């Protein structure tokens, strides 16, 4: 396996494209910056990661309910949440080659932490570097760079008839995070589901950010999916809930094959305008050369509900029947990018190992995440009796498991292809199968093979694929 991050990333990008996981969007038109499409196996893997999150965040809990709110929301939502005034990143431009850079990322390279710092701080730090001659364009090396300025991450759109489509009055924003919808539906959720504090609302959906630089494959994209859960509670419960959710989220990573040394907590010193406490889960990406944020766990106080109450005039307070107390709940949030998790699992699973002098590339994904669970092969394509039997097995297993029928090339080649997409089991129907009613089942990780009765396959996979 490649040693340096760039080479690892190139291998992942190449595998993702070659095997139908991720394609650059609009490629025939030359692509569109930092937007990606997910192919067949990518869609399946993404759906499985999404399901794994939903199971733990909603299905396994009696205190979290689901939501699927619209991407477009009343523009006032973003005024109230503070995004219109302060959801931006510091940008610097190279005057020579016109490359754009994120000033806080540039400073980070010199060990200066500028996350969420004011522009004055950032420009003062940039000036110090300028004076030493160390501040250079990351693209062309020129020292002729602009000072940092604020660049809004909000993506604007218009709703309305074509004639007034450009009118400022019709401006709407593509949501920059999904939780806005959760706050707006918090009251309807209470009224319709009879939830009592503390309770959470979870949702998965698209979010859009006009990121200044987005060069790290699907780590940072301009259109992405977020999986967020807002846990509403009495302020006195915040510390307890915060610790509980931090532990739950940490264990979720371990549950799906991430090692405890692969992740760590990063505590934010400088907080976003809404947060009172913020930790990130960081994963040690081989393809990005170190620990990077995958998920945020934030204590948001009652900032959002108080602002939406103020801007909309709606009473968003909660009445606790037990204590007869009326108050505005506080919020504990977990927020994670689905594409970022996708890259994390790919990065972790990607393995190259020696197999009798040959390099074997295999995605060692957790069985529950693997796009295809079982691949079914007839030993030979041109033997109708083998093909019919293999199809029969496919038709039985497909009801319970995502399966694939493959009769292309020799079996060794089919194994290699299934290894590259992370299929845990391959089933081969051979001539003996027609006699003894057994097939060969090959395990992705150990490459061991065993003969299993066709009649027992379903039970076998139910046990193996949990």
CB of 210: closest distance to ligand ATP in angstroms? Answer: 9
Per-residue binder mask for ligand ATP (CB under 6 A), 145-184, x = binder: --------------------------------x-------
Q: Are residues 272 and 278 in contact, defined by beta-carbon separation less than 8 angstroms?
A: yes
- Residue whose CB is less far from ligand ATP, 67 or 426: 67
Contact mark string toward ligand ATP, 281..300, x via CB under 6 A: ------------xxxx----
221: contact with ligand ATP by CB under 6 A: yes
- Contacts with ligand ATP in 5-24 (CB under 6 A)? none
- For ligand ATP, the closer of residues 221 and 230 by Cβ is 221
279's enclosing H/E stretch is strand 277-285
Picking from 363, 364, 345, 367, the residue whose alpha carbon sits closest to that of residue 464 is 367
Stretch that binds ligand ATP, among 35-43, 217-225, 426-434, 451-459 (CB under 6 A): 217-225
Task: Out of 224, 250, 274, 377, point to the residue binding ligand ATP (CB under 6 A).
Answer: 224
In the complex with ligand ATP, which residue's Cβ is closer, 205 or 422? 205
Q: How big is the site for ligand ATP, counted in residues (CB under 6 A)?
A: 16
- From 83, 209, 286, 444, residue interacting with ligand ATP (rule: CB under 6 A): 209
Closest residue to bound ligand ATP by CB = 337
Nearest-angstrom CA–CA distance, 457 and 397: 8
302 vs 323: CA distance, rounded Å: 20
Which of the stretches 198-206, 324-332, 333-341, 454-462 binds ligand ATP when contact is defined by CB under 6 A? 333-341
If the CB atoms of residues 174 and 336 are measured against ligand ATP, the closer one turns out to be 336
What three-state secondary structure class fits 225? strand
Q: Which of 10, 11, 185, 211 binds ligand ATP (CB under 6 A)?
A: 211
List, in sequence order, every residue forming a beta bridge with 292; answer none if it has no partner: 283
How far, in Å, CA of 340 to CA of 216, rounded? 10
What is the spatial distance between Cα 43 and Cα 32, in angstroms, rounded to a whole number?
Answer: 20
Given the complex with ligand ATP, which of 11 and 211 has the nearer CB atom? 211
Among the listed residues 56, 83, 220, 442, the single contact to ligand ATP using CB under 6 A: 220
Query: If residue 301 lies in a helix (H) or strand (E), which one and from where to where?
Result: strand 290-301
Please, which residues have CB within 8 angstroms of residue 112's CB and are 6 or more apart in sequence?
125
What is the 8-class DSSP label of residue 379?
S
Map residues 226-245 to x or -, x wherever contact with ligand ATP holds by CB under 6 A.
x-------------------
Q: What angle do CA 30, 31, 34 make, to 5 degrees?
A: 150
Report, in Å, the least distance between residue 447 CB and ligand ATP: 34
Q: Give the whole-angstrom CA distance, residue 36 versus residue 22.
A: 7
Interface stretch with ligand ATP, choices 77-85, 182-190, 334-342, 347-355 (CB under 6 A): 334-342
- Report the candidate in 273, 272, 254 with the shortest Cα–Cα distance to residue 264: 254
Cβ proximity to ligand ATP, 209 vs 308, nearer residue: 209
In this structure, are residues 201 and 193 in contact, taking their beta carbons and an 8 Å threshold?
Answer: no
Beta carbons within 10 angstroms of residue 215's beta carbon: 10
What angle do the packed helices 338-349 and 5-18 form, to 10 degrees? 100
- Least CB distance to ligand ATP at residue 343 (A): 9
Q: From the list 64, 299, 336, 346, which residue makes contact with ligand ATP (rule: CB under 6 A)?
A: 336
Q: What is the largest CA-CA distance in the chain?
A: 82
User: Minimal distance in Å, beta carbon 51 to ligand ATP?
Assistant: 18
Cα separation, 378 vs 382, in Å, equals: 9
Does 428 contact ligand ATP by CB under 6 A? no
Closest of 340, 103, 80, 148 to residue 227, by C-alpha:
340
Please, which residue, 53 or 377, has the CB nearer to ligand ATP? 53
Q: How far apart are CA 288 and CA 308, in angstroms?
A: 38
Closest approach, Cβ 367 to ligand ATP, in A, equals: 24
Q: Applying CB under 6 A, which of residues 152, 309, 335, 433 lies at the interface with ligand ATP?
A: 335
Is 373 strand, coil or helix? Answer: coil
Is residue 205 close enough to count as binding ligand ATP by CB under 6 A? Answer: no
Q: What share of the chain is helix, strand, coil (3-state, %, to 5)?
A: 40, 30, 35
Nearer to ligand ATP, 148 or 336 (CB): 336
Binding site for ligand ATP (CB under 6 A): 177, 209, 211, 220-221, 224, 226, 293-296, 335-337, 339-340
């Amino acid at each position: 396996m490649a040693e340096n991050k760039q080479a690892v990333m190139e291998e992942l990008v190449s595998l993702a494209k070659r095997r139908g996981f991720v394609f650059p969007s609009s490629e025939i038109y030359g692509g569109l910056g930092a937007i990606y499409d997910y192919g067949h196996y990518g869609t399946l893997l993404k759906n499985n990661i999404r399901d794994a999150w939903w199971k733990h965040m909603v299905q396994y809990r009696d205190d979290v309910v689901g939501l699927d709110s619209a991407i477009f929301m009343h523009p006032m939502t973003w005024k109230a949440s503070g995004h219109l005034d302060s959801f931006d990143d510091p940008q610097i431009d190279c005057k020579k080659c016109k490359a754009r850079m994120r000033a806080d990322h540039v400073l980070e390279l010199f060990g200066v932490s500028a996350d969420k710092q004011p522009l004055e701080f950032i420009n003062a730090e940039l000036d110090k570097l300028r004076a030493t001659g160390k501040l250079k364009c990351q693209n062309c090396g020129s020292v002729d760079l602009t000072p940092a300025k604020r660049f809004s991450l909000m993506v604007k759109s218009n709703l309305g008839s074509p004639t007034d489509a450009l009118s400022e009055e019709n401006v709407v924003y593509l949501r920059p995070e999904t939780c806005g919808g959760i706050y707006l539906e918090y009251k309807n959720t209470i009224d319709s589901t009879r939830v009592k504090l503390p309770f959470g609302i979870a949702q998965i959906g698209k979010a859009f950010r006009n990121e200044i630089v987005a060069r790290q494959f699907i780590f940072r994209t301009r259109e992405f999916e977020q999986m967020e859960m807002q846990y509403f509670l009495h302020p006195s419960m915040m510390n307890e809930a915060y610790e509980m959710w931090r532990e739950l989220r940490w264990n979720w990573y371990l549950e799906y094959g991430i090692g405890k040394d692969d992740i760590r907590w990063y505590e934010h010193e400088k907080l976003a305008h809404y947060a009172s406490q913020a930790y990130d889960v960081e994963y040690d990406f081989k393809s990005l050369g170190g620990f990077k944020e995958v998920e945020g766990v934030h204590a948001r106080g009652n900032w959002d509900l108080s602002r939406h109450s103020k801007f909309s005039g709606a009473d968003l307070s909660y009445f606790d029947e037990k204590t007869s107390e009326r108050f505005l709940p506080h919020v504990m949030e977990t927020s994670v990018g689905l594409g970022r998790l996708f890259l994390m699992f790919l990065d972790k699973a990607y393995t190259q190992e020696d197999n009798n002098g040959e390099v074997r590339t295999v995605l060692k994904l957790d069985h529950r995440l693997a796009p295809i669970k079982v691949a079914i092969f007839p030993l030979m394509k041109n033997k109708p009796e083998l093909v019919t039997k293999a199809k029969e097995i496919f038709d039985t297993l497909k009801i319970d498991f995502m399966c694939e029928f493959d009769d292309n090339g020799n079996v060794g080649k089919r194994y290699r292809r299934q290894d590259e997409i992370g299929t845990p089991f391959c089933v081969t129907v051979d001539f003996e199968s027609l006699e003894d009613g057994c097939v060969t089942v090959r395990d992705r990780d150990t490459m061991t093979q065993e003969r299993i009765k066709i009649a027992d396959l379903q039970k076998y996979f139910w046990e193996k694929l949990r």
